[in-house]
Amino acid sequence: MKRKRPIAAWKLVAVFSAAMAFLCLPAVLAVAGVDDVRETPGSRAIVEAHTADLSEALAEQGTHLGAPVYLRLTKEPAVLTAYVATPDGVYEPFRSWPVCAYSGKLGPKLAEGDLQAPEGFYSVAPGQMNAASDYHLAFNLGYPNAFDRAQGRTGSYLMVHGDCVSVGCYAMTDEAIEEVWTLMQAAMGEGQKSVPVHIYPFPMTAANLQRHAGDPNAAFWRSLAPAWEAFEETGHVPAVRVSDGTYEITPGT
């Protein structure tokens, strides 16, 4: 009997990478540019279930459900923190949730199929929110952003979502994504045009940057640090733009 020839290892890797690159694809049905969050009966029930608790907790901090939201995520430790604006415009930490899973290692996403989760500065508009996700609830980070495109980076459908499993995306527990979703939807409902989501490999302290000074990504990470430092100093989300392929960061006021 003729023996079947084994499949070359590189072919298996290629097939696996291609499949994994699209694992998060069903997580987005929303269309960028839509002014309102697209809801489902299930997402409406989720928001209703969390409204009282979140409203009470935010009131204790001197703010309210619907105030502007800023999200900051680190890979090491794997944590997502929501900051909510107080009446004087300063963003105060509200809640932090562990990130269940993210793909790859420290370092930015470079190419479709590299199985890396992105790092950098992203913004989520209502049209990027997906209540009909296969992964409970999801929002599209908008990768590649202008900086990523300037660097020739590729990839698509990079999400933060529930279901606690992911390749390429950031996965949360369902409870966590429900709370984050409710905060974001309420803020958008009161006029926040987009929610900034800043993703770092680790807290951008001098000690951490020095610890990773020999990493090939060290220069990229140093370019992210001014945004971290500006927010820590002022409590205002810095303005981020891309000029000549580099991030330009202006502290918020």
What's the pLDDT at 38? Answer: 84
Catalytic pick from 169, 198, 212, 236? 169
Report yes or no: 130 and 38 within 8 Å, Cβ to Cβ: yes
Complete domains list, the chain, with CATH? 24-200 (2.40.440.10)
The alpha carbon of 102 is separated from its chain's Cα centroid by a whole number of angstroms, namely: 11
- Can you list the residues of the chain whose pLDDT is less than 70? 1-34
Backbone angles phi, psi at 192, to 5 degrees: -70, 120
DSSP lists the bridge partners of residue 195 as 124
100 carries an active-site annotation:
no
Give the global pTM. Answer: 0.88
User: Can you give the pLDDT at residue 35?
Assistant: 72
Q: Is the peptide bond before 144 cis (omega within 30 degrees of 0)?
A: yes
Please give the structure tokens belonging to residue 194: 């987009």
Question: What is the distance between the alpha carbons of residues 198 and 235, in angstroms, rounded to a whole number?
Answer: 14
- Gap between the Cα atoms of 191 and 111, Å rounded: 34
Please, are residues 193 and 125 in contact by the beta-carbon 8 Å criterion?
A: yes
Strand order in the sheet with 79-85: 91-98, 79-85, 69-74, 195-200, 120-124
pLDDT on residue 34: 56
Q: How far is CA 232 from CA 19, 75, 92, 205, 213, in A?
A: 39, 18, 10, 10, 22
3-state SS, residue 68: coil
Question: Are 49 and 70 spatial neighbours (Cβ–Cβ below 8 Å)?
Answer: no
Q: What is the CA radius of gyration of the chain?
A: 19
Catalytic residue among 50, 100, 136, 161: 161
Cα distances from 52 to residues 37, 48, 203, in angstroms, run: 20, 8, 32
> What per-residue confidence (pLDDT) applies to 229?
98
The verdict on whether 169 is a catalytic residue reads yes
Identify the pLDDT of residue 24: 59
Round to whole Å and give the CA distance between 158 and 109: 10
